Amino acid sequence: MFIKQISIFVENKPGRLSAVTKLLAENNFDIRALSVADTKDFGILRIIVNKPDEACEALKKAGWTVSITNVIAIGINDDPGGLSAAVECLYAANISVEYMYAFISKSDDKAYVILRVDNNDRAAEALAENNFRILRSSEVYDV
C-alpha cells in the first residue's frame, strides 16, 4: 500500500545533482517523481523511482548518503478543490502532513500526490474511507 521514497543528502555544490541523476540514468532507474528541499549548504533530494531498493543500493555503493521512507501516493480530482478535500480529510483525522509533492499522471482527470504524514496507516485508512484512491506501488513505479 505504501510507496518507497528515496531521500538523498546532496551538498549544495555545482554538479552534485547532475552526478546523482547520471548515476540513476546509467543504471536504468526511472524517476517517477521528485522534490528538492535545500538550505545554503545542502539539500535533500526526494525521489520515487521504478526500482527503489535497487536504486538505494546503487546510490549507497557510489558513496551517497541515502534512506528509504514509506510515503503515500493518492489520486485526487484534477480540479479546483481536489487537493483541499484530501488535506481536509487528513486534518479531520488529526493527521499531520510533514510534506507533499505532486507528479505527472497519464490520466486526464486525476492528479497524483505523494504525502509524508505522521501516521501512514491512519492516513491511508482516513483517505480510503473518504473515497480517495491510494495508489499501489505498481501504479507509481511501472507507469
Structural domain harbouring 60: 3-70
Domain boundary residue, one of 53, 70, 87:
70
Neighbours of 76 (CB within 10 A): 21
If asked whether residues 64 and 123 sit together in one domain, one would say: no
Q: What is the pLDDT of residues 2-56, one digit of tens each?
A: 999 999 999 988 899 999 999 999 999 999 999 998 888 889 999 999 999 999 9
For residue 135, what is the domain's CATH number?
3.30.2130.10
Identify the domain boundary among 31, 50, 70.
70
Task: For residue range 14-25, list pLDDT tens digits in order.
Answer: 899 999 999 999
CA distance 28 to 31: 9
Task: Write down which residue in 70, 96, 122 finishes a domain.
Answer: 70
